[in-house]
Every structure is written in C-alpha cells, then in structure tokens.
Structure 1
Amino acid sequence: MSRMPLRDASGKRKLSDNCRFPVTKFVGRMVVNSPPWPRLKVDRLVNLSIKAHAAELTKETYAFREDKRILRDWSDPIDTDVDRKPGLWPPNNKADNPSLHNPLLRQERMGCGWLGAIFEWEGVIIEDNTEIEKQAWLTVAEEEGKSPPPAFILRRIEGMKNEQAISEVLCWSRDPAVLRRMSLRKEEIYQALQGGIYRLRNGSKEFVNVLMHYKIPMALVSTRPRKTLETAIVTIGIEKNFTEIVAAEDVHRGKPDPEMFVYAAQLLKFIPERCIVFGNSNHTVEAAHDARMKCVAVASKHPVYELGAADLVVRNLNELTVVDLKNLADIESTEFGSLEPEMQLEEEEDDLPSSVAVDDIFW
C-alpha cells in the first residue's frame, strides 16, 4: 500500500495513514491488486448530530401547517396570465361551511356525499368516431399543401385544441390569424363529415339521469365549439342535465393540460379534490390527476388494461353507482385533521458499531 502525501499548515509534506490507495503489483505474468483501503472511522456522535439536524429541517418544512401560523387569505387576488371571469377562482367552497344552519347539510359537506362530476363529451356521453377526426385533419393538410400527419401524430393530438395541435405538434403555423382559419376549417370539415348525427353510448343517459336525481352538479367539457355542443345536447335531449359547459372558447389549451377540468371545477364552485372526471383516454387521466381530481376511465376506444392509471375503469357508465362515486370522493382533508407526519428519531441500539463508513455519512 502507498500513502498519499499531504501538506500540513507549515507547508511541509507528510504521509497520511487515513487516505490510502490500492497498489497494483506485477507477479510474473499476473496482476495482483492490494485490498481496498480501510473504512474511515467516524465518531458515533457525528451520525446522531446529522440525523438530529435532518429532523429539525423536516420540522421547519411542515411548520407552516401549525394552527398558529398565518393563514392564507383567499380574498387576495391571484396573478394569472389567463383572463378569467371575476370571482370564479379560488372558489369559496371549503368542505365545512359554518353559515349553514342545517347540521345535516354541514355533515354532508364534511362527508363524501359532496361531489361534482365532470364529463367529457366524445367517447363518454356519445360515441367517438376517430375515423372522421382523422379524415378531417388529412383534408386540411391537403388543402393547405402540408404533408399528411402520420398515425402516431394523430393519436398525440387527440383531445387538444385545434390551434394547439396546429402550432405545437403539427407545426404548420404560429400566426394567430392562420391558426384560427385552419381551426375553423377543420371543424367545418368535421361537422360536414359527421352530419349532425350523434349516437349516445350505452348507459350514459341513464347514468346522467341518476346523478341528476341525486342532485349531483355536472359539467360537460370538450374542445368543440360551444355552438356545436349546445346544438348536440339539445338534439339528444340532455340539455337540462348539465349545470355548466366548458367549450373550446373557454380555455387556452386542451388535454393533457388540466385547464379544462380546473375551469369546470371553478364553474361548479367545487374544490378539485371533490370533483370526479369521466374520460376515455390516458390524456384525460393525466390531466385529471394533475388537477388533483379523481378519474373514471371509460374503455370506449382503448382496452381496459391500457387505462390502469385511472382510479376506476368501466366499459359503460351504467356499471357505476352513486356509492362508487362517494367512495372515490372519500378523501382526507386538512379540515379533518393535521396531515403533518410524525417526526421521530430512530432509537440507537446499544450494539451499534462505534464507527461508520464515510459513504454512510455523505450518501
């Protein structure tokens, strides 16, 4: 073994016994490496002080949840880049509402019965025709002299706003005027191919009627224009079921961005944790979870095993019951108790060795 030369305070060189490097020896035609250096011995108190310091840092991290800390004033305006209607966000809708004089209503809000439902339009309420959507994009590409988008690009832009898909994925243009013109033309082609014929999915209308019977507020979201949505729901006779509608004009981005679902929760005046999203793709699951909402996936165009990230997967909405939704809405909230984890130091055993390796300290 060779010892590494060091310099002390006086500048003189000396050999250290603490830092040693293995030496390679040549014995005949064989190469022999000496054993690795011995572990650096560190006092046991160093390990204890590091753990105590880590515990103090963790306590400071969760100190803002103490009751005596300054609470956030929800009346303060929040600076956002998106223009919203005044008074929508953040909603004044905590689980408990002391202004309610009926104790049963307060108990319902504190329990899991207080929830809102957010439905996607295509693939959940009505049948989703992906072939018409594909043909509309191919027709626009041909009219604009663009290369036809491949199949994997068409799957990627499912659920996006038309402007978002054209500018960010297809990269056809970034001019707002051109984006709007292409978007309107694509919707015009889609509606012409679709012919105004809507087919309800099995069990969707019955399930929506059940939720309406239990007075569960519902919102409908889609990247289609509002005029198209309003005409469609009147055609199939469910215009009285949905409390709010979120259309393409109301949001800047579509899935997988959670903006549509967050805005629907604002309109319903529900906190996101009390909302359940019904969709039919992994983009919907991702957006719902990013918005801190639960998601029920409907296997309309994807097999069940591909939607495993959802909180619940069904083939038709009539497989669900109100009890299933209440179980999904049964969440833990800070209003029901502190979520601060218990901070405890690990008890040191008597038979611990008096030294630890240098790797145990720094890693």
Structure 2
Amino acid sequence: MTSPSQRAFIFDMDGTIVDNMAFHTKSWLAFFERRGKTLDADEFFRATAGRQGHEIMSAYMGSHLTKEESAALDFEKESLYRELYGPHLAAVDGFVDFIARAKEAGIKLAVATAAPNENIAFTLDGLDLRKEFHAIAGAADVARGKPNPDVFLLAAERSGALPVNSIVFEDAPLGVEAARRAGMRAVVLTTTLPAEAFAEFDNVIAMARDFSELDIDALFAAATN
C-alpha cells in the first residue's frame, strides 16, 4: 500500500550497487566479435546502458529475431558476463553501511534494474544482499527498459512510496532519464562515466564516487528544493 509520507531509495544494480559495467561492456564486445561486429566501447555503453537485453539485440542484430532466438542470445551474453565478473563480485564502497543507515531511518529500499533474473540472483544472492531490500523489479517485470520509467515506477509502487518521495541511484544517462520521466530525483554514481556526462539533467541532486560520500538527510533536503 502506498503511503503519502513513505520515502524510498531505488537503486539501479549494475554500475551502482556493483562496479561492473566494464565487464558488461567487455562481454558485449566479445559477444559481437564472435559475430564479426566490432563496436566502440564508449559509444556502446552510452547507447545501451539501462536497456534490456532483447532491446539491445534488436537494435544491433535486427528486429527480425524471434523471442526465442533473442532469449538464447541473451543467455549466451549474460553467461559470458557472469564468467568474467564472478571473480570480482563486490559491492561499491560504502554501500552496505549506507543502506543500513537508510533502513534505520525508515527508508524503504528497492532495486530497479534492466538485468534478467539470473543476473539479479548472481549479484544480490552472491553478495547476500537480497534480504536488505523491500522490493526488487527487473527486466522480467516490465516490458520496456530505460529510458522508459517503467521499472522505477514499479519499484516505487512495490515499496509503498510515491515517485515524488523516491530517490534513484544511477550510473548511466539512460537511467537518469528514466528517473526524470518517473518524476524522481536522482543521485549519480560516477563509477562508469564522469560527472559532465550528466550535465543536461535537472533531476540530479548529487554526484559521488561511492556511497561513503553521501549523506541521507542532505539528499532528501536537496530533493525537496
């Protein structure tokens, strides 16, 4: 049930809870290299981070793919990613302490990600973090990826918080745009891109290298200005 006063923190997963986007990009580039396609890593990230796997497959391999073909390709790519990133799996600095303080303050915690269920399990269960969240929304729960706001709106709804009382944590421009479309303020983690990559967004209230730099009260004060 949604409460007019309930506050929520909604976290993107890849690049935000874990600093893994370089491994996602590496696995995508390797996936396409197997098919004779050479892509620019920076351009690919800016164009795709936050989109669902089937959306990326359609954009780069053609809309003729059947649902089954796309699912098989997604499985190949994500298996490669988990193989590459598995030995390095770790939460971004300060994250565990930050969410502990947020829970003490009565703030609901949610994950809103474009990742498939297998990757959600790989990350949240691998780090024993699933129990910390009141709600999780992933690619399997919504039809459209970011920059559409669907996954953030669903995460807020499942948390019992209104969009206006929800703050999103993101590392990618498409994710910040999705938060803007959802009517939510955003905090940018510069794990993947520099601060200037987000200069156009008027919903960004803070930027940080990791969670140790963030103050909860200051974030909500900035969100109400």
Q: TM-score, normalised by structure 1?
A: 0.56
Q: How many residues align?
A: 221
Counterpart in the other structure of 2:111: 220
Counterpart in the other structure of 2:28: 137
CA–CA distance in structure 1, aligned partners of residues 125 and 67 of structure 2: 32
- 1:324 alignment partner, one of 213, 218, 223: 218
Bigger Cα Rg? 1
Counterpart in the other structure of 1:315: 209
Counterpart in the other structure of 1:306: 197
Percent identity for Structure 1 against Structure 2: 24
CA 1:181–1:249 in 2, change beyond 3 Å: closer, same or farther?
Answer: same
Quick check: 1:121 aligned with 2:30? no
* Shift, 1:278, TM fit: 0.4
* Shift, 1:166, TM fit: 1.0
Counterpart in the other structure of 1:27: none
* Shift, 1:329, TM fit: 4.3
Deviating beyond 4 angstroms after TM superposition, the runs of 4 or more aligned structure 1 residues are none
CA–CA distance in structure 1, aligned partners of residues 89 and 108 of structure 2: 24
Quick check: 1:229 aligned with 2:120? yes
CA–CA distance in structure 2, aligned partners of residues 209 and 129 of structure 1: 25
CA 1:162–1:312 in 2, change beyond 3 Å: closer, same or farther?
Answer: same
CA 1:154–1:300 in 2, change beyond 3 Å: closer, same or farther?
Answer: closer
* Shift, 1:154, TM fit: 4.3
CA–CA distance in structure 2, aligned partners of residues 228 and 154 of structure 1: 18
AA partner of residue 38 (structure 2): P
CA 1:139–1:291 in 2, change beyond 3 Å: closer, same or farther?
Answer: same
Higher RCO structure, 1 or 2 (CA under 8 Å, sep 6+): 2
Are the aligned partners of 1:207 and 1:317 in contact in 2 as well (CA < 8 Å)? yes
Deviations 1:125-174 (A, max 9, x none): 211241x223322333244x352333323431122111001113443643
Q: TM-score, normalised by structure 2?
A: 0.88
CA 1:316–1:193 in 2, change beyond 3 Å: closer, same or farther?
Answer: closer
Counterpart in the other structure of 2:165: 274
Give the SS at the match of 1:168: helix
Gaps of 5+ in 1: 1-91, 96-108, 332-363
RMSD: 2.1
| Structure in which a larger fraction of residues adopt helix | 2
Are the aligned partners of 1:173 and 1:179 in contact in 2 as well (CA < 8 Å)? no
* Shift, 1:314, TM fit: 1.8
CA–CA distance in structure 1, aligned partners of residues 218 and 145 of structure 2: 28
